[in-house]
Amino acid sequence: MSAVIQSSARVSASPLAVGDPDRLLVFDRDGDVSLARFMAQVRGLAAMLPPGRHAINLCEDRYRFLLGFCAVAVRGQTTLLPPSRAPGVIAEELRRHADSYCLGDVALADAPPRYWRLPDVLPELAGAPLPVDDDALVAIGFTSGSTGEPKPNPKTWRSFRTSTAQNLAALGDLWPAATPAQIVATVPPQHMYGMEMSVLLPLLGGVAVHAARPFFPADIAAALGAARAPRLLVTTPVHLRALVASGIALPPLAGIVSATAPLDAALAAAAEAAFGCEVREVFGSTETCVIARRRTAHEQAWTPLPGVQVQPQPDGSLVHAPHLPTPVALADLVEVDGDGHFQLRGRQADLLEIAGKRASLGDLTRQLQAVPGVLDGVVFQLDAIDAGGVRRIAALAVAPGIDEADILRTLRRGIDPVFLPRPLKRVDALPRNETGKLPHAALVRLLQTVAR
Query: What are the tens digits of pLDDT across the range 283-334?
Result: 999 999 999 999 999 999 999 999 999 999 988 899 999 999 999 999 888 9
**pTM for the predicted model, two decimal places:** 0.84
CA dihedral 46, 52, 56, 61 (to 10 degrees): -20
Angle between helices 35-46 and 62-74 in degrees, nearest 10 = 60
φ and ψ at residue 320, rounded to 5 degrees = -105, 130
Structure confidence at residue 54 (pLDDT): 96
Domain 355-450, CATH? 3.30.300.30
Residue range 183-197, pLDDT digits in tens: 999 999 999 999 999
pLDDT in tens, 368-377: 998 999 999 9
Domain with CATH 3.30.300.30 in the chain: 355-450
Output the pLDDT for position 144. 65
- How far is the CA of 302 from the CAs of 169, 320, 340, 342, in angstroms? 15, 15, 9, 5
CATH number for the segment(s) 2-299: 3.40.50.12780
Q: What are φ and ψ of residue 34, in 5° steps?
A: -80, 165
Q: Own/partner pairs for 299-305, CB < 8 Å, 24+ apart?
A: 300/265, 300/343, 301/337, 301/341, 301/342, 301/343, 302/341, 302/342, 302/343, 302/344, 303/341, 304/340, 304/341, 304/342, 305/166, 305/167, 305/169, 305/170
Check if the beta carbon of residue 260 is closer than 8 Å to that of residue 436. Answer: yes
Residue limits of CATH 3.40.50.12780 in the chain = 2-299
Give the model confidence (pLDDT) of 201-247 as tens digits.
999 999 999 999 999 999 999 999 999 999 999 999 989 999 999 99
**HEC string for 157-220:** HHHHHHHHHHHHHHHHHHCCCCCCCEEEECCCCCCHHHHHHHHHHHHHHCCEEECCCCCCHHHH
